[in-house]
């Protein structure tokens, strides 16, 4: 199976996927840590893919999304964005809306606390 096929299958079979450097419990870069931290804090169940474990996946995800950086968040098969976009969406409430519209469970109180702390 090619890297593109693996990526497509992962994105299609899981509601929320974060392609990141490291893992959700042990991020290996600040940007990946920030996005995983938001998802973890908000209680979102997601699949993490450590791009450092496979060079083909690391390059393949950039080609797949036509987005040059890691991390990359996908919800219900759709590319959401990287660290800056996810941060902005979290602070504006857009991430809450996206999750709600797609039937993804999350802790609304935790999301509100993030906004409160950064407001």
Q: What is the pTM of this model?
A: 0.96
Domains in the chain (CATH in brackets) are 3-117 (3.40.30.10)
Instruction: Give the angle subtended at the CA of 85 by the CAs of 112 and 102, to the nearest 5°.
Output: 65
Distance CA 48, CA 16 (A): 9
pLDDT digits (tens, 9 = 90+) for 7-60: 999 999 999 999 999 999 999 999 999 999 999 999 999 999 999 999 999 999
Structure confidence at residue 93 as a pLDDT band (50, 70, 90): very high
Close Cβ partners of 78 (under 8 Å, ≥ 6 residues apart): none
Beta pairing, strands 78-81 & 72-75:
antiparallel
């Amino acid at each position: 199976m090619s890297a593109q096929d693996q990526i497509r299958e992962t994105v299609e079979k899981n509601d929320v996927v974060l392609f990141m450097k490291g893992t959700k419990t042990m991020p290996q870069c600040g940007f990946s840590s920030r996005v995983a931290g938001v998802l973890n804090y908000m209680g979102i169940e997601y699949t993490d893919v450590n791009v450092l474990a496979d060079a083909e996946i690391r390059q393949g995800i950039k080609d797949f999304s036509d987005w040059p950086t890691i991390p990359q968040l996908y919800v219900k098969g759709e590319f959401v964005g990287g660290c800056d976009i996810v941060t902005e969406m979290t602070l504006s409430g857009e991430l809450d809306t996206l999750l709600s519209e797609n039937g993804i469970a999350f802790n609304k109180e935790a999301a509100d606390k993030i906004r409160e702390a950064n407001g």
